[in-house]
Amino acid sequence: MGEFNVHRVRFFNYVPSGIRCVAYNNQSNRLAVSRTDGTVEIYNLSANYFQEKFFPGHESRATEALCWAKGQRLFSAGLNGEIIEYDLQALNIKYAMDAFGGPIWSMAASPSGSQLLIGCEDGSVKLFQIIPDKIQFERNFDRQKSRILSLSWHPSGTHIAAGSIDYISVFDVKSGSAIHKMLVDRQYMNVSKRKCIIWGVAFLSDGTVISVDSAGKVQFWDSATGTLVKNHLIANADVQSIAVSDQEDSFVVGTAEGTIFHFQLVSVTSSSSEKQWVRTKPFQHHTHDVRTVAHSPTALISGGTDTHLVIRPLMEKVEVKNYDAALRKITFPHRRLISCSKKRQLLLFQFSHHLDLWRLGSTVATGKHGDTLPLSKDADHLLHLKTKGPENIICSCISPCGSWIAYSTASRFFLYRLNYEHDSISLQRVSKMPAFLRSALQILFSEDSTKLFVASNQGSLHVIRLLEGSFKHLHTFQPQSGTVESMCLLAVSPDGNWLAASGTSAGVHVYNVKRLKLHCTVPAYNFPVTALAIAPNTNNLVIAHSDQQIFEYSIPDKQYTEWSRTVQKQGFHHLWLQRDTPITHISFHPKRPMYILVHDAYMFCIIDKSLPLPNDKTLLYNPLPPTNESDVIRRRTAHAFKISKIYKPLLFMDLLDERTLVAVERPLDDIIAQLPPPIKKKKFGT
């Protein structure tokens, strides 16, 4: 692999926002996740659980409910009283509508997907008709005395169940009137509590209503008679969420203690057709409250205050040798939050509402392999740039020369010129930025820092020439005819002649920056692109996909390279393909053109194209290098993949020069330490 001096950076104080809601779409096999800062993320479960889209958060949008409707339409609602529909192509908010019921606590789409139901702070339940391009208010149901915290449709669409404080209401959809009101016992561990909050309800085909509440109970109700059928006390704290499988043979609940309980419908005896609900499996994958759960055909999905999105496979429903058989914990976004100025050895860290600029430390000490060297000069925090307004930052970038910083929010684009004088730094904002640059999804500077490339959410790419303290708009590459797909990833060649752009589903487009026209389109692939980069000298485009495949495409020749064809013919090692985190960054060695450097959250790899590929019988991780020319055995087992797992979780890694690497880590323990304390549980012997 070669020896490098590595800057191990752990001062990126990034804490992901907690997860508030998840919504699973069975038709597209996609998962929508909303976080406490208003951010909404879309995961493609068929593409190795890749986070293919996201909508930036907003300080005034505290999302409390999230659901899919007919035609792959996504809605959210929250405490600001608005219903929001998202544009999944342009990756922005299509519209926001006030429901006029105060804060919205719950929302559910009808089984047909043509109606939307919301529960409000004022006790009202409102029905909306979903029509093309918008929703239309239809009517109010009978108003209740307290807020509506949970909703569920009967699979026939004729009745709904609504959870409130101390009671559950069953409504007739046709008349809008309440036909039953089921009072919930306030007893909690033999102590009468003031209120019992119904956090979640589920309406089954046979008329059973399942409720979960703040007294730690899971209860089964007969909606026809309004009576309690069965009661399970499962926790010493709130049971906060419930999700039922499509077959209605199992459901999952999440508690404030961080435990998930799986219930299954099983036969009473082996010869009996009578079935009953049995608590079968508890899982403890969270340290804090499990605020939301979902149930896919093959897995239990949960999220909460500890920021982890956990996918727990149901082993009886999946093939063992499959991606779906592995437990997954997704903590960090699958997009870039860090950019680097190699010339000045600067790192720009992106947070929700500010940017931090740091200069790396340095050392004059020397040592042998594995030594930790003392710093002769500490890292410097040069700049804290705070945004104005309630919108989250979508993307940001620092130029390679360190003299420019650009970032974008949903409504504004900012460009700053940095001037360095000895140890001080001054900031000059470039005014009158054009409106078409706002809502940029990706920003990239050319290698010589003379051009700025901006990918808008309308599918167009803007080329900006940077002057001393000002700019000039050179050209806009329009999207291909018939498409408005947003471009989420950009790569520019070191000579500045080529620009590659990738969207969420289409192929990668390559543009000639000198001639300002489309050069070619890389053949489309079934899995989304997670990272791309253009190699110096050869102008070969290296593309990583979510299924862990890597392609190399010659831009001048408009075809895959010989190495890429060899890789596809032989195939990657099975352990490489079984990795469950996507490659998020690709770079190249300035003096060794055969090296490709890639990393994901848990490994850093140098691919040496001059060596043979490993086969499935070869040790993939850490094969020992040959010690001398006569070391035949080690030379025979040497292969192209040199992998290091020392640095993790790894948010960013790149070469500063031919002998120096920078690695930005974010240990999970540091994140947990900044979260509110979890509920204390008494353990045996303490």
Radius of gyration of the chain (CA): 27
Question: Whose CA is closest to 211, among 260, 262, 258, 169?
Answer: 169
Residue 372 in tokens: 């930790």
Q: 3-state DSSP helix/strand/coil percent for the chain, to nearest 5?
A: 5, 50, 45
What per-residue confidence (pLDDT) applies to 423?
76
| Residues of the chain where predicted confidence (pLDDT) is lower than 50 | 1, 626, 629-630, 632, 686
Residues 6 or more apart from 457 whose CB is under 8 A from it?
A: 90, 91, 92, 439, 440, 441, 486
Q: What is the pLDDT of residue 175?
A: 93
Phi, psi of 673 (to 5 degrees): -65, -25
Is 458 in contact with 90 (CB distance < 8 Å)? yes
Q: Which residues of 428-466 are buried (b: 16+ CB within 10 A; e: fewer)?
A: eebeebeeebbbbbbbbbbbebebbbbbbbbbbbbbbeb
In this prediction, residue 256 carries a pLDDT of 94
DSSP bridge partners of 653: 663
Provide the CB-side half-sphere exposure for 633 (13 A, CA). 2
φ, ψ at 569 (rounded to 5°):
-75, -45
**Residues 6 or more apart in contact with residue 259 via CB below 8 angstroms:** 235, 282, 283, 284, 286, 290
pLDDT computed for residue 487 by the predictor: 80
Query: Which tokens hold the place of 547?
Result: 């299924």
Contacts of 271 (CB under 8 A, 6+ apart): none
Q: Whole-model pTM above 0.85?
A: yes
Residues 177 and 166 sit within 8 Å (Cβ to Cβ): no
Domain ranges of the chain: 19-246+253-260, 247-252+261-330
Evaluate the CA torsion angle 430, 431, 434, 436 in order and state its sign: positive
Dihedral sign, Cα of residue 261, residue 264, residue 269, residue 275: positive
> DSSP string spanning 28-72?
TTEEEEEETTS-EEEEEGGGTSEEEEEE--BTT--EEEEEEETTT
pLDDT of residue 36: 94
Query: Which pLDDT value is given to residue 304?
Result: 95
Among residues 647, 649, 659, which one has the least CA distance to residue 8?
Answer: 647
Give the per-residue pLDDT at 318: 64
Calpha distance 529→109 (Å, rounded): 32
Residue 654 and residue 590: Cα distance in Å, rounded? 12
- Please count the other Cβ atoms lying within 10 Å of the Cβ belonging to residue 11: 11
Which tokens go with 530? 């997670």
Residue 639 tokens, joined? 């292969």
Task: Say if residues 287 and 306 touch (Cβ distance below 8 Å).
Answer: yes
| Structure token digits, residue 425 | 């730094």
Beta strands 451-455 and 461-467, pairing class: antiparallel
Question: For residues 520 and 17, what is the distance between their CA atoms, to the nearest angstrom?
Answer: 39
Sequence letter at residue 441: L
Domain 19-246+253-260 part of CATH 3.30.70.580: no
Strand order in the sheet with 380-386: 338-341, 346-350, 354-359, 380-386
Q: Which amino acid is at 421?
A: E
H helix or E strand, kind and range, residue 567 = helix 562-570
